[in-house]
């Protein structure tokens, strides 16, 4: 093979690896209301959420094993929204915190603030979803990077939940819900049979 051919092959490899290094990840979540502090949702009713981000976003955390990502809600590839009953939930500032083997467990929290329900802006409010493992189980994730996929079976049902809060006070809760399913856009499009192929992206 000539030098020029080798250079062309190397350039092609760099282009491919560069293209694969950043990808928009979209997830669809379903949940069930387990608490409704303001009476706006019936217990057992469904909650739906969708979030999306570019996995090349920069980690701004300075702590080992921890990732913090401030995602620009103005970007079409970054959003976090949801609904329950007739209510639409949103938030201007989307962020993700990743805890890889911190205090004996793994955790990921997706949050948007200030929370907006329908046309009501709650300046101290937050819409969030938290996934966490039991202490002693640190195999749900192995990096502090933004996840490329999420397998709900890896996380503790007891410690994983979503909520909409007006503020951080004792009476600030609005709705709390269990997490029933999390599905990537790849899985949603191709079905469970394509799960391994989706995760390998």
Half-sphere exposure for 105 (CA within 13 Å, toward CB):
13
What's the CA dihedral at 152, 87, 163, 64 to 10 degrees?
A: 70
Q: How far apart are the first and last CA of the chain?
A: 31
- The pTM for the full model equals 0.83
CA separation for the pair 194, 188 (Å, rounded)? 9
The pLDDT tens digits for 86-99 are 999 998 899 999 99
Where are the domains positioned within the chain?
Answer: 24-199
Residue among 177, 169, 193 nearest 85 (CA): 177
The pLDDT tens digits for 187-199 are 777 765 555 566 5
The residue whose two tokens read 């490329």 is: 148
Check: CB of residue 127 under 8 Å from CB of residue 153. no
């Amino acid at each position: 093979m000539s030098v020029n051919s080798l250079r062309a092959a190397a350039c092609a490899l760099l282009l491919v690896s560069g293209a694969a290094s950043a990808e928009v990840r979209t997830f669809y979540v379903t949940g069930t209301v387990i608490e409704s502090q303001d009476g706006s949702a019936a217990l057992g009713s469904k909650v739906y959420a969708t979030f999306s981000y570019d996995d090349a976003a920069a980690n701004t955390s300075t702590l080992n094993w921890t990732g913090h990502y401030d995602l620009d809600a103005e970007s079409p590839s970054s959003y976090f929204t949801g609904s329950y009953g007739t209510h639409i939930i949103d938030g201007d500032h989307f962020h993700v915190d990743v805890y890889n083997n911190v205090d004996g467990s793994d955790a990921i929290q997706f949050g948007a603030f200030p929370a907006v329900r329908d046309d009501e802006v709650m300046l101290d409010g937050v819409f969030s979803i938290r996934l966490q493992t039991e202490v002693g189980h640190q195999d749900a994730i192995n990096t502090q990077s933004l996840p490329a996929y999420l397998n709900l079976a890896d996380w503790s049902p007891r410690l994983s939940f979503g909520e909409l809060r007006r503020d951080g006070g004792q009476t600030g809760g609005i709705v709390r819900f269990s997490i029933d399913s999390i599905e990537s856009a790849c899985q949603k499009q191709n079905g469970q049979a394509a799960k391994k192929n989706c995760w390998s992206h």
